Amino acid sequence: MDSKKPDLVEEPSSSYGYYSYADYLTWPMDLVAELIQGKMFKKAVAAPKRIHQKVASKLNFKLYQFLEGKRCQVYTAPFDVRFPIDSKEDHEIFDVVQPDICVVCDPSKLDDRGCIGAPDLIIEILSPGSSKLELKHKYELYESRGVREYWIIHPEHQNLLIYTRVNGTYVPSHLFTTGDVVESEVVKGFKLDLEEFFSDIQ
């Protein structure tokens, strides 16, 4: 086998030499990966750290409670988010990610396979080894494809950074930490008291 080929992955159907969502759907269930500009990024096979899971579960619960009965809906990984450009055909989609948490306010973007189009809010919770992907590749993808708000949470440091899309470009917040109350610009009315939120997370 050519060492440059991803393990356990069939040859891409695309003549351009990168992977599409159609390829992604053929991969083995035990291969956890995301696509950004047709490039495959393997995710760790092992489960995330316990603190990552606790932060994700608690934040998802708070968002679910807040959004219950409202138009917007919250979803947690594994949940495919596809970013089409000119076509929604599987073989023409080259960006597919599984954010830790996302909020979708346009029901027309939801189908049986997840979300097709930009969620309104994406939250990524950093884990060892994932920081480069979250901070660079996903940042660029989310900014260029219209994700209106992007949260990055560092569980160990108990801090949070928000990027808000203004005129097509992300504008960063200051670094929120214990003692701050974070408020979403996209999910109107949703607030997160970081001191309370992280009080039982360690």
- Using CA atoms in the order 74, 75, 76, 82, what is the torsion angle rounded to 10 degrees? -130
Task: Show the tokens assigned to 63.
Answer: 């968002």
Sequence-distant (6+) residues with CB within 8 A of 87 are: 93
Supply the Cα-derived Rg of the chain in whole angstroms: 17
Given the DSSP bridges, would you call strands 176-177 and 121-125 parallel, antiparallel or unpaired? Answer: unpaired
Report the helix count and the strand count for the chain, using DSSP H and E. Answer: 5, 15
Q: What is the DSSP letter of 135?
A: I
For residue 130, pLDDT beyond 70 = no
Mean pLDDT on 166-179: 95
Q: What is the pLDDT of residues 15-26, one digit of tens each?
A: 344 899 999 999
Q: What is the pLDDT of residues 88-119, one digit of tens each?
A: 999 999 999 999 999 999 999 999 999 999 99
| 30, containing H or E segment | none
Q: What is the pLDDT of residues 33-45, one digit of tens each?
A: 899 999 988 776 5
What's the whole-model pTM score? 0.87
The whole-number pLDDT of residue 129 equals 63
Q: Are 30 and 78 in contact (CB under 8 A)?
A: no
Q: Are 99 and 82 in contact (CB under 8 A)?
A: no
- The domains of the chain are located at 50-197
Question: Is domain 50-197 annotated with CATH 3.40.50.300?
Answer: no
φ and ψ at residue 96, rounded to 5 degrees: -140, 120
